[in-house]
Structure 1
């Protein structure tokens, strides 16, 4: 049964090639559903999936009660597109992407539809032509790969998944680079604060980079791992700081930072003076201005714009290869860029 769902794909790809090569001329009427069913030995539901596939890509137009017709060659370029995007909240690290993605969409006659990713689990025609995916649960990696194989354009932010189009920062390598930066600044004893429930991808990548970078230079990684569900976390971090006396602390995400700042005060340490904090997330505003924190500034705006431009191009030219773009981060002490 699972294999039968994809029987329409070779037929859809055949028609797409014939239209693109001019074998089916603009304005030409397609065979009827009945004729297609008989010729290809497929069910009517499979043939309708073929026609849905071609219509979504602006290659045919369907007139109820009349039939399906090949579009003019430039129709696909002028067709308004709907791009789905994971609904992001203001506290998401990826939220700075939104205005830049909206700008690209508006410039290219596209409607941006914020949605819950679980909508991608639905069978049949999806309510968008492509999807801009930011990890938020609700849909599996296997499902995204399946949709990509079937020709539905998907771009994924900050994941190393070869089976779909990806635009990412290499969290592991950038974490190693951050540790090497701290070491160049003369900070020899570098600890880390980790969480028990911080996700199963980005956080483990960052922590692995921290541990390997410290080990490769002859040091010994040491970290505190705990839940951040009560103020008791502050006491635990303060105790960890008193016991280990770190020169610096590696923080894998911004959600840890406020806890650590309170703990430093409790432990009698002053960030920016006698302890350095590195945070692997962009910091905004002046709230941390006196703490001398070093942070990783991911080029989120460019990543978002590149993803949107790819999705639009992929809808209009399904033959485009899957990109796997990797971006460098900048290390910043507020307004000071560290090379």
Structure 2
């Protein structure tokens, strides 16, 4: 657990239990730094989380005071996540939403697809259902793979209904455009840069970026970060992005013979898993012939034929933060939209060819 969150949870428990009552002044940051043996930045971050949830208010020149505790009435939020149940990251995000300290006794609503119902139809039906039920807000993960029109239609419906919305993982608008909703995810451009940088540090000199055509704009941002790294690390190199079916042996064989990469940055772990199996079937060895890195750190990443080096998303943290952002939006509907980027963590395994320490 992050240090600031431990401080936050301690103060939250003390506020909820009545150690600090509504209207009462909290100890100064200096006093809390001493109490928790923490830096002022860490304590300030804990205070910021309490402020975002409306539990604490700063009074300039006076200090921080406990606000009136929120009432016990529960709120119900809707989930619009087309990939829920088909990919690990959204299950973890939902777990974070449900276990968020900010969530209290609030609940989440979601629905299943009807028999033979198209995913876009399901999403629109659920959207109308949430609007009719007047849920308190909607957590929306836009559809990937050519779902732009449907995403914009749903967004327009929610906006017209004046529904608070927090986007999870991705925006439905492509860069440089930006939607009118709050967003919680990772910095995908930075992630692509870090992936390429790590393979270069591991010894790769000709690095490709592998992605599935029609992927979400998060993948485009990762590709942009990869290109930036290639340009800076390899003296103006342009970089090569390869898109296609990575289970197709002929396709993989063609670009491997044509481009002769010794390193491949994969848009995500699913792409890495498919490509690794195809490479092995073609007689390539990982990492001896080609180094690989993925993104997500899904459960099976460590169990692939060559355990996969990857960039881990803290999906539970995305859910926890998203609930705080949603409650802040409900309390302050006129505030500017926010982008919150959760940090990633490099997980080094055998596929990158870098010798593990210890």
Unpaired segments ≥5 residues, structure 2: 1-67, 112-121, 172-177
Aligned to 1:264: 279
Distance between the aligned counterparts of 1:169 and 1:155, measured in 2? 14
Aligned to 1:78: 72
Cα distance 1:143–1:159, how it changes in 2: closer, same or farther (>3 A)?
Answer: same
Distance between the aligned counterparts of 1:153 and 1:124, measured in 2? 11
State whether structure 2 residue 203 is matched by structure 1 residue 186: yes
In the TM superposition, 1:5-84 aligns within 5 A as 77-84=71-78
Aligned-partner SS, 2:196: helix
Cα distance 1:105–1:75, how it changes in 2: closer, same or farther (>3 A)?
Answer: closer
Instruction: Say which of 282, 306, 323 aligns to 2:297.
Output: 282
State whether structure 2 residue 329 is matched by structure 1 residue 314: yes
Aligned to 2:106: 110
8 Å CA contact retained: 1:83, 1:130:
yes
In the TM superposition, what is the alpha-carbon distance from 1:166 to its structure 2 partner?
A: 0.8
In the TM superposition, 1:48-197 aligns within 5 A as 77-87=71-81, 88-104=84-100, 108-115=104-111, 117-118=123-124, 119-121=126-128, 125-136=132-143, 137=147, 139-141=150-152, 144=155, 147-148=158-159, 151-160=162-171, 161=178, 163-197=180-214
Aligned to 1:40: none
In the TM superposition, what is the alpha-carbon distance from 1:99 to its structure 2 partner?
A: 2.1
8 Å CA contact retained: 2:301, 2:308:
no
8 Å CA contact retained: 1:120, 1:126:
no
> Number of matched residues?
262
8 Å CA contact retained: 1:169, 1:327:
yes
Distance between the aligned counterparts of 1:134 and 1:247, measured in 2? 35
Cα distance 1:106–1:170, how it changes in 2: closer, same or farther (>3 A)?
Answer: closer
Aligned to 1:333: 348
Cα distance 1:208–1:317, how it changes in 2: closer, same or farther (>3 A)?
Answer: closer
Distance between the aligned counterparts of 1:126 and 1:334, measured in 2? 47
In the TM superposition, what is the alpha-carbon distance from 1:112 to its structure 2 partner?
A: 0.9
Unpaired segments ≥5 residues, structure 1: 1-73
Distance between the aligned counterparts of 2:108 and 2:284, measured in 1? 47
Cα distance 1:261–1:286, how it changes in 2: closer, same or farther (>3 A)?
Answer: closer
Cα distance 1:262–1:180, how it changes in 2: closer, same or farther (>3 A)?
Answer: same
8 Å CA contact retained: 2:292, 2:309:
yes
Name the TM-score, length of structure 2 as normaliser. Answer: 0.62
Cα distance 1:183–1:106, how it changes in 2: closer, same or farther (>3 A)?
Answer: closer
Cα distance 1:128–1:81, how it changes in 2: closer, same or farther (>3 A)?
Answer: same
Distance between the aligned counterparts of 1:207 and 1:196, measured in 2? 12
Query: Which deviates the most, 165-174 or 94-103?
Result: 94-103
In the TM superposition, what is the alpha-carbon distance from 1:304 to its structure 2 partner?
A: 0.5
Distance between the aligned counterparts of 1:289 and 1:215, measured in 2? 31
8 Å CA contact retained: 2:208, 2:263:
yes
Distance between the aligned counterparts of 1:75 and 1:299, measured in 2? 29
Instruction: Say which of 223, 226, 230 aligns to 1:207.
Output: 223
In the TM superposition, what is the alpha-carbon distance from 1:122 to its structure 2 partner?
A: 6.7
Distance between the aligned counterparts of 1:286 and 1:75, measured in 2? 43
CA deviation vs aligned residue, 1:130-161 (integer Å, no higher than 9, x gap): 11111235853475367458642211012353
Aligned-partner SS, 2:110: strand
8 Å CA contact retained: 1:158, 1:167:
yes
